[in-house]
Amino acid sequence: MAKLSSEQFEAMLIERHGLSAHNKLKSATIGIGGLGGLGSNVAISLARIGIGKLVIADFDIVEPSNLNRQQYFIEQLGQNKVNALTENLTKINPYIKIEGYQVKLKPDNIPEIFTGCCIIAECFDKPDQKQMLVETVLNSMKNVKIVAVSGIGGFGRSNEIKTRKISDRLTLIGDDKSGIESGFSLMAPRVAIAAGHQANVIVEMILEK
């Protein structure tokens, strides 16, 4: 089948979502900090639904241990995650704008990297990195919202993963207890559930804005 033109692709999205919702999604710029199990899944959901622009950041490369839950392929092993995910996203939605940064996120570069984003998805594995990103956004990026995750390790217990609005700018997803620091492994089904929560609440924020 021939490649869809940008007009055909957009018409398909409008037919699915309606013009008003599509225009809001198309005009949104969303940041994703960390491109592992959470970040790669969030990015793919948002690309499929027609988000206008993603700002993605990660310093890491694709490793064999990532393939059990992250949206990469064997032939991408050794590539940096920013380039690999950009490649995969553009195969899904060739017309999405992607701004990628192969860099370790720190308090001094986060505000600059995610300038222009209305919402940021916190998608790290380690608790100290999660806390760092959340605190930086809340303290240094006025009016930017952040959707964070805590407690998605292991398997089963799908309904224990909840979306909770902590404040006007912070939403927290997970069961708040099943973290890797407690010895739980990260597995594709439960990680994907949490990432789905993240993408879903981001869409809700955009459409209710």
Assess if residue 202 is contained within a domain: yes
User: What is the pLDDT at residue 159?
Assistant: 86
User: What is the pLDDT at residue 180?
Assistant: 64
User: What is the pLDDT at residue 182?
Assistant: 55
Assess if residue 162 is contained within a domain: yes
The CATH number for 85's domain is 3.40.50.720
Write out the two tokens for 28.
């949104």
Encode the chain (209 residues) as per-residue pLDDT tens digits. 568 899 999 999 999 999 999 999 999 999 999 999 999 999 999 999 999 999 999 999 999 999 999 999 999 999 999 999 999 999 999 999 999 999 999 999 999 999 999 999 999 989 999 999 999 999 999 999 999 999 777 787 788 899 999 999 999 999 877 766 555 788 888 999 999 999 999 999 999 97
170: Cα separation from own chain's centroid: 15
User: What is the pLDDT at residue 2?
Assistant: 60
Structural domain boundaries enclosing 147: 7-208
- Looking up tokens 């998605």 gives 152
User: What is the pLDDT at residue 18?
Assistant: 96
Report pTM: 0.94
Assess if residue 47 is contained within a domain: yes
Assess if residue 41 is contained within a domain: yes
The burial of 185, by beta-carbon neighbours within 10 Å (0-12 exposed, 13-18 middle, 19 or more buried), is given as exposed
What CA–CA distance (Å, rounded) separates 28 from 22?
Answer: 10
Domains held by the chain: number: 1
User: What is the pLDDT at residue 176?
Assistant: 78
User: Cα–Cα–Cα angle for 95, 97, 102, nearest 5°?
Assistant: 135
Assess if residue 80 is contained within a domain: yes
Assess if residue 1 is contained within a domain: no
User: What is the pLDDT at residue 153?
Assistant: 75
Q: Crossing angle, helix 37-49 and helix 81-92, to 10 degrees?
A: 30
Assess if residue 2 is contained within a domain: no
Assess if residue 143 is contained within a domain: yes
